[in-house]
Structure 1
Amino acid sequence: MQTYGEYLITQKTFRALLQAMSHPGRVYNIGDFISDSPIRPFTHSPLMLVLQTLLDHEVGFRVIGTGKEYLETTISELTRCPVKDISDADFIIVSDGESNGEILKAKRGSLEYPDTGATVIYVVEFLNDRDNGKPIALLKGPGIRNDIAPVIHGLGQNELFHIKENNSEFPLGIDCIFIDGANRIMCIPRSTRIEVR
């Protein structure tokens, strides 16, 4: 059961996620939420704060990558969210930016219920929404004025191709959240067109 303080932090985090989903490719900092959070171990990392905000006993999740067993046990204990097969998981956590094609098995929703597609959460090294690094993609679509070329360090070489393939039949597809070690988040929803560079 969440305390009132934890509830306020998850509400702030949820609003930040909504902002990030509404403005694909833009980077938002959730560091203040972490520093303000009550003393609970899972709110002291950006990944765990986002998971505490999104996961509960009514959805399922899966971890791909480094520390899979430990993360699945910890996340399940802290959120009461059950571990599912990738094809049934509502949330897929890619712990080191590389799914090796596993996200191609993610559920993509149906024409009647496109919102039942999975949300994939990538943990990456560094995010930047300005083209002053080496952008790996050009994003266009709803919530983007013209286009945006985000920098995502630590994302696997083929991941954007996999995301693009999953989202090739809009409104079917997956939504993606990227989290870096500096408490920043960025989103690419299924409605965003991706041009891989």
Structure 2
Amino acid sequence: MSNPNPNPNLKEPSFDRIHDTQEIYRVLLHAMSRPGLICELGVSMDGVDLPVGTSKAAAAIAFTLLDGEVTFAVQMYGQEGWTETIRRLTYCKLVDFADADYVFVEGNEELRFINQLQSQLRKGTLSSPEKSATVFIRVKHFVNNELLSGHQGCSLKLTGPGIQTETMCYVTGLSFAWIESRARLVEEYPLGVDLILYTENGELIAIPRTTVVEGVAGAWHM
């Protein structure tokens, strides 16, 4: 039987909304406990079936975290169908950035948008710091320092809880303005936001508000 809904539709022939989302949630928790460690959504995201050009990795994360009790906001290129599908299948409310629990954006956004978003994101309150936004930023790749030549992105040194000494992260497709904005957002700890950078192949790293980040922009541009 054909689908009567003409909008782009997220099909789930093999995505287990219980088992797979539990596995993805464990990956997210592990990433948050080990800032800068490259974790993988792996086969748990493979069953998500999307129209060509829409984000399978973002959908897997959304299915794991979104439901009718939380809110989300999106600015991702070419993801209008994705947004409507996620809203419809998770019953999560699509809201403005200022009211969102979860935010999905692009790593290579313009400086103006990043600065505007900074002033809107929920940072929590002193009595309820957990009432803050988690920001998922889609980037291109995580690479090691032997592969820097020819890439443009950010070189990040992370220190803080969950890191034994320091961790180096090399990210392509990430505007350094995100790192500068994040520094301003977390300067009044425990207020702040948590960032998770992810790629379309399901790799991700977490940068909680407790992590200290030192970075260099455009370090690999030839």
TM range (shorter): 0.7 to 0.9
Fraction of identical pairs, as percent: 30
* Aligned equivalent of 2:163: 144
For the residues of structure 1 that align with 2:172 and 2:81, how far apart are their CA atoms? 24
Q: Greater share of helix residues, 1 or 2?
A: 1
Q: Deviations over 1:74-124 (max 9, x none)?
A: 221121111111111001100454253243020000111111110000111
Matches within 5 A, 1:36-185: 37=47, 40-41=49-50, 45-67=56-78, 69-98=80-109, 99-104=113-118, 105-128=120-143, 130-134=144-148, 135-185=154-204
Check the 8 A contact 1:107/1:117 in 2, yes or no.
Answer: yes
For the residues of structure 2 that align with 1:24 and 1:88, how far apart are their CA atoms? 26
For the residues of structure 1 that align with 2:70 and 2:22, how far apart are their CA atoms? 18
Q: CA RMSD in A?
A: 2.3
For the residues of structure 2 that align with 1:112 and 1:16, how far apart are their CA atoms? 28
- TM-score by length of structure 1 reads 0.88
The 3 A distance-change label for structure 1 pair 145 and 131 is: farther
1:23 aligns with one of 15, 34, 41: 34
- Structure (1 or 2) with the larger CA radius of gyration: 2
Paired residues, what number? Answer: 192
Check the 8 A contact 2:134/2:194 in 1, yes or no.
Answer: yes
Deviation at 1:4, TM superposition (A): 9.5
Check the 8 A contact 1:57/1:82 in 2, yes or no.
Answer: yes
Q: What secondary structure, in the 3-state scheme, does the structure 1 residue paired with 2:83 have?
A: helix
Deviation at 1:52, TM superposition (A): 0.4
For the residues of structure 2 that align with 1:170 and 1:86, how far apart are their CA atoms? 21
Q: Which amino acid aligns with 1:27?
A: I
Deviation at 1:68, TM superposition (A): 5.2
Deviation at 1:133, TM superposition (A): 4.4
For the residues of structure 1 that align with 2:84 and 2:137, how far apart are their CA atoms? 18
Deviation at 1:64, TM superposition (A): 1.9
The 3 A distance-change label for structure 1 pair 9 and 65 is: closer
**Structure 1: 5+ residue stretches without partners:** none
Q: Deviations over 1:135-177 (max 9, x none)?
A: 5221110001111110111112311111111111111000111
Q: Which amino acid aligns with 1:24?
A: P
Deviates further, 146-155 or 44-53: 44-53
Q: What secondary structure, in the 3-state scheme, does the structure 1 residue paired with 2:17 have?
A: helix
Check the 8 A contact 1:76/1:82 in 2, yes or no.
Answer: yes
Check the 8 A contact 1:63/1:95 in 2, yes or no.
Answer: no
